[in-house]
C-alpha cells in the first residue's frame, strides 16, 4: 500500500488489498493473495469509502463519501458512487 504526501482519509475508510482466486478449486485449497493499492499525492478520500485490491487513485483526485472503488481513478477528478465513477474533472 502506498499513500502519497498530503493525502487525506476520512473516518471509516477501508483499504482492502487481500483477494482470492476466481477458480473454486484454488479457493478451496486456501489460496489467497494481495494486490497493491496506490493513492497518489494530495488525494482526498471521503468517509466510509471502500477501495478494492489493485486500485490506483491518481494525484489530486477526490473520492466521495461512501463510494466503492473497484477500478482505477485518474488524476485530477472527482469520483463517487457504487461502483465509483468519474463525475467531473478538476
Catalogue the active-site residues. Answer: 20
Cα–chain-centroid distance for residue 44?
A: 11
Closest CA to 45 of 35, 54, 58: 58
- Nearest Cα neighbor of 62 from 23, 54, 49 is 49
Amino acid at each position: 500500500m502506498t499513500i502519497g504526501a498530503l493525502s487525506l482519509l476520512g473516518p471509516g475508510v477501508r483499504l482492502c488489498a487481500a483477494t482470492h482466486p476466481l477458480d473454486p478449486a484454488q479457493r478451496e485449497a486456501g489460496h489467497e493473495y494481495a494486490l497493491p493499492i496506490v493513492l497518489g499525492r494530495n488525494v482526498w478520500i471521503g468517509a466510509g469509502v471502500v477501495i478494492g485490491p489493485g486500485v490506483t487513485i491518481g494525484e489530486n483526485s477526490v473520492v466521495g463519501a461512501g463510494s466503492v472503488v473497484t477500478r482505477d481513478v485518474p488524476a485530477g477528478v472527482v469520483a463517487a458512487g457504487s461502483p465509483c465513477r468519474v463525475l467531473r474533472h478538476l
